[in-house]
Amino acid sequence: MQQLRWLACALLLPALAGCATTAHRGFEQLPLLPPAAFGAAATGQQRLTLSRESGGAALVLDAAVEVDAMELRVAGMLLGQRILLLVWDGRRLQESREPVVPAALSGRAILRDLQLVYWPAQAIRAVLPQGWRLEEQAARRRLLHGATVVFEAERGDAVPLGNASLWNHPGQYRIDIESSYESR
């Protein structure tokens, strides 16, 4: 476990140091959607490649995502060991994290980004505060606050929890998602 802790610190901290950056006011407080708003049940295995907008080495993590009408569950793994578990029931977020996961990596932010990529656009639009808007054309989404693009996502396919790329501009990171999934 000591080796895993050292490796995770060496990899996660530089790659994710900007995740908690609140360069754009209000983005961190956007409401989370209930799992039922996804509109289906699905399970996916994902390989996430995280990179900083400023460049540098990319980090590859694995995740398992399950969603149904009652819960959204996300498990993050590094070197085959679970280091993070998030369970969201629409009211309460439960987090279980190993000490190797930086405090700056917010479980709420992970769920927000996931929902902005995969949840139906009409469900997202219904909860956006005044001054925010979601634009969607084909497989590309843009979340704007006023005229400023805050978040972008591009889906590689139209399946639940499918391949995608996202750009979180306040956090200054990009995540490319390679998925294998199954609808339930």
The confidence score (pLDDT) of residue 18 equals 43
The confidence score (pLDDT) of residue 8 equals 45
The confidence score (pLDDT) of residue 19 equals 45
The confidence score (pLDDT) of residue 183 equals 58
The confidence score (pLDDT) of residue 65 equals 95
The confidence score (pLDDT) of residue 11 equals 43
Task: Identify any residues that bridge with 59 across adjacent strands, giving them in sequence order.
Answer: 50
The confidence score (pLDDT) of residue 2 equals 43
CA 181 to CA 63: how far, in whole Å? 12
CA 35 to CA 85: how far, in whole Å? 16
The confidence score (pLDDT) of residue 124 equals 97
Residues 6+ apart with CB under 8 A from 136: 121, 142
The confidence score (pLDDT) of residue 54 equals 77
Torsion of CA 89, 92, 93, 96, to 10 degrees: -100
Assigned token pair, 100: 């190797």
DSSP string, 3-33: HHHHHHHHHHHHHHTTTT---STTGGGPPPP
pLDDT digit string (tens) for the chain, length 184 residues? 444 443 444 444 344 444 444 446 688 889 999 999 999 999 999 999 988 877 777 788 899 999 999 999 999 998 889 999 999 999 999 999 998 888 877 899 899 999 999 999 999 999 999 999 999 998 999 999 999 999 999 998 777 889 999 999 988 899 999 998 665 5
The confidence score (pLDDT) of residue 111 equals 94
Q: In what order do the strands lie in the sheet with 59-67?
A: 93-97, 81-88, 72-78, 59-67, 42-52, 173-183, 164-168, 148-155, 140-145, 132-137
pTM value is: 0.84
Distance of CA 94 to the CA centre of its chain: 16
Angle 116-111-63 (CA atoms, 0-180°, nearest 5)? 110
Q: Is residue 82 within 8 Å of residue 76, measured between CB atoms?
A: yes
Which domains are delineated in the chain? 2-183 (2.50.20)
Rg, C-alpha atoms of the chain: 16
